[in-house]
A and B are shown apart, each in its own frame.
Chain A
């Protein structure tokens, strides 16, 4: 449209120049901000791989080189009273960190919670969402919006009575309080499933009913197979939520052999706060799986976040 308007050559030239300036400025800003956002990751990994002696005080060097080269250059730097620039990568902090706290046991506990709450969240949230979308009945939407409204309720309000319930049931200091609630359906995931189920053509469901299929069968055999993208999103988000959760384990887990990675890392910080290399090695072990997971599930991730914004 705009192109059909006659313009003078001078104007076209000016537009092109403005566009070029914009592109260059954009690249410059992106590169600068990209460096700022990425540096903490580089720092994390570098410090975890760096022997203490290659650091000047506790400032890490940034360039990895073989051990003989590092020793040579760093001794020279010491003589000139300059900071160290290079280091020889080593897994020393990982070895020490892993013996100091039972990281592998924490990992096992965390994975158990993650997988169980993922199964619970997918099964129950999709069932509930089926009742909130495919089935039509009076009062349905009122209950649904009441559910959405309670998502604003801060967890602190229910924290004490819920703790009292688990204590009555003798389940404090077990995985129960961290896993069982997800089997009752998670409002945010119910919302995600419902939004997706509403896009499934009604005729498909009606046809299945004509063939005499019951609602549970339609849920399992028709609706769920069509909903793989949202199953992936909910599975991913619930896994990530359980992996990152800190407050839950902090309230309910008391014995060290029950600890999750989050709780274990926080304990490491409290007890061995000066062991930076080891602390960051444990942190790296907690971050790297999430980053790998992200690279395999990027689309699912982004789609899930976009859907969550539709409420607005």
Chain B
């Protein structure tokens, strides 16, 4: 009797979520799957069109370009950001004087609104007078002198080959969130493990590789998965960098082209098909990562 009452109360408490879940998740997921097989301009009802959207996507140059850009960006940016965050966390974990100040400095960029940080980087990456090229120019002058070359600082945002490196560089500025997670995980590694290793005469390198990394591997894994999912949906930064299209579409990202199809050209069915392909790509990638890292992720122990 009591159990039954608690169950009804439980369902009533989660009722807002169940309602929202139905309206904003379950119905839209099913509807977008259906739309992906339709011609749909939102002004008139969708008409079934079979596989035509998916077939058209296979030969859509912009779609393939966006997919390639997004994949290559993701596979460079996510590991690099993890590495930078890890280095920062290791340095902060030395617990040197002033670490609170450094922690704040490293963390702050990650909470700057993405549009504001993109506008700022638009300026930093400016080919003629941006800060980055101003720092590079004297170095290249010396290098050119030594090697007899004629290297010039790149036009980060104007040259097709530089667009993605520029965005990858920018992404490393916002690693503060992962850094905080790593720092917390480093603090949770049991001290006895290091003491035992010291007695065995282990070097710092071996301790890092055989104790620290395995002990924080669940957090590394978590940030890897979240990073991949977030990066596949990369959108706002290139929108600010190139509002009227990037050089040679080198900065056209998957989510951007999807958005354009949906809301600029009102090709809602086509955009839905793109969304489903994105979903499949994310699920497959996540599963591959799960599989290939299972051996390396260490649960239990201090966790």
Q: Which of A40-77 contact B (CB under 8 A)?
A: 40-41, 43-44, 47, 57-59
- Other than the given A124-B16, A156-B271, 19 more pairs (CB < 8 A) read A29-B91, A30-B91, A43-B124, A137-B3, A138-B7, A153-B25, A154-B233, A160-B35, A164-B42, A165-B28, A184-B16, A184-B17, A185-B17, A247-B236, A265-B119, A270-B244, A305-B180, A306-B181, A312-B223
What residues of chain A lie closer than 8 Å to B12, measured between beta carbons? 131
B198 touches A181 (CB 8 A): no
> Which are the 7 A-B pairs with shortest beta-carbon distances?
A184-B20, A312-B222, A131-B13, A158-B28, A161-B28, A137-B7, A161-B31
Q: Which of A168-226 contact B (CB under 8 A)?
A: 181, 183-185, 187, 190, 215, 219
What residues of chain B lie closer than 8 Å to A130, measured between beta carbons? 13
**Docked CA distance A30–B14 (Å):** 47
Q: Which of B58-66, B106-114, B138-146 forms part of the interface with chain A?
A: B106-114
Q: Which residue of B lies closest to A43 (CB)?
A: B131
Given contact pairs A26-B96, A30-B96, A127 touches B13 in the complex (Cβ within 8 A): yes
Taking beta carbons and an 8 Å cutoff, which residues of A are in contact with B? 1-2, 5, 22-23, 26-27, 29-30, 33-34, 37-41, 43-44, 47, 57-59, 124, 127-128, 130-132, 135-138, 140, 143, 147, 150, 152-165, 167, 181, 183-185, 187, 190, 215, 219, 240, 243-244, 246-247, 250-251, 261-262, 265-266, 269-270, 273, 276, 279-280, 283, 286-287, 290-291, 294, 298, 301-302, 305-306, 308-309, 311-312
**Docked CA distance A273–B242 (Å):** 11
B124 touches A156 (CB 8 A): no
**Docked CA distance A115–B229 (Å):** 28
Instruction: Pull 14 A–B residue pairs with CB atoms less than 8 Å apart, ordered by A.
Output: A2-B199, A143-B14, A153-B279, A157-B275, A160-B28, A160-B275, A163-B262, A246-B114, A266-B115, A290-B111, A291-B108, A294-B104, A305-B177, A306-B184
What residues of chain B lie closer than 8 Å to A39, measured between beta carbons? 131
A152 touches B6 (CB 8 A): no
Q: Which residue of B lies closest to A18 (CB)?
A: B204
A157 touches B105 (CB 8 A): no
**Docked CA distance A150–B120 (Å):** 34
Q: Mark B201-241, 1 if CB is under 8 A from A, else 0.
A: 00000000000000000110111000001001101100110
B111 touches A59 (CB 8 A): no
B14 touches A160 (CB 8 A): no
> Majority SS of interface residues in chain A?
helix
What residues of chain B lie closer than 8 Å to A44, measured between beta carbons? 120
**Docked CA distance A127–B12 (Å):** 9
Interface residues on chain B, size class: 35 or more
A153 touches B29 (CB 8 A): yes
A309 touches B219 (CB 8 A): yes
**Docked CA distance A266–B241 (Å):** 10
A34 touches B105 (CB 8 A): yes
What residues of chain A lie closer than 8 Å to B48, measured between beta carbons? none
A157 touches B96 (CB 8 A): no
**Docked CA distance A184–B20 (Å):** 5
B53 close to chain A: CB less than 8 A: no
Q: State how many angstroms separate the Cβ of B49 from the closest Cβ of chain A.
A: 15
What residues of chain B lie closer than 8 Å to A57, measured between beta carbons? 128-129
Given contact pairs A290-B113, A306-B180, A38 touches B129 in the complex (Cβ within 8 A): no
Q: Which residue of A38, A185, A266 is within 8 Å of B16 (Cβ)? A: A185
B115 touches A160 (CB 8 A): no
Q: Which residue of A131, A165, A219, A311 is within 8 Å of B11 (Cβ)? A: A131
**Docked CA distance A137–B12 (Å):** 12
Q: State how many angstroms separate the Cβ of A303 from the closest Cβ of chain B.
A: 10
B1 close to chain A: CB less than 8 A: no
Q: Which of B1-47 contact A (CB under 8 A)?
A: 3, 6-7, 9-14, 16-17, 19-21, 23-25, 27-29, 31-32, 35, 40, 42
B167 close to chain A: CB less than 8 A: no
What residues of chain A lie closer than 8 Å to B119, measured between beta carbons? 265, 269, 279-280, 283
A156 touches B9 (CB 8 A): no
Q: State how many angstroms separate the Cβ of B195 from the closest Cβ of chain A.
A: 5
**Docked CA distance A27–B98 (Å):** 9
B14 touches A286 (CB 8 A): no
**Docked CA distance A23–B99 (Å):** 12
Q: Which residue of B lies closest to A312 (CB)?
A: B222
B74 close to chain A: CB less than 8 A: no
**Docked CA distance A56–B88 (Å):** 35
Q: Which residue of A lies closest to B199 (CB)?
A: A2
Q: Which residue of B115, B221, B283 is within 8 Å of A262 (Cβ)? A: B115
**Docked CA distance A131–B101 (Å):** 40
B109 touches A40 (CB 8 A): yes
A1 touches B23 (CB 8 A): no
What residues of chain A lie closer than 8 Å to B94, measured between beta carbons? 22-23, 26
What residues of chain B lie closer than 8 Å to A243, measured between beta carbons? 113
B258 close to chain A: CB less than 8 A: yes
A131 touches B271 (CB 8 A): no
**Docked CA distance A276–B123 (Å):** 8
**Docked CA distance A156–B273 (Å):** 10
Q: Which residue of A lies closest to B299 (CB)?
A: A312
Q: Which residue of A lies closest to B268 (CB)?
A: A160
A37 touches B109 (CB 8 A): yes
A131 touches B113 (CB 8 A): no
**Docked CA distance A58–B134 (Å):** 12
Q: Which of B251-280 contact A (CB under 8 A)?
A: 255, 258-259, 262-263, 268, 271-272, 274-276, 278-279
**Docked CA distance A218–B249 (Å):** 57
A157 touches B279 (CB 8 A): yes
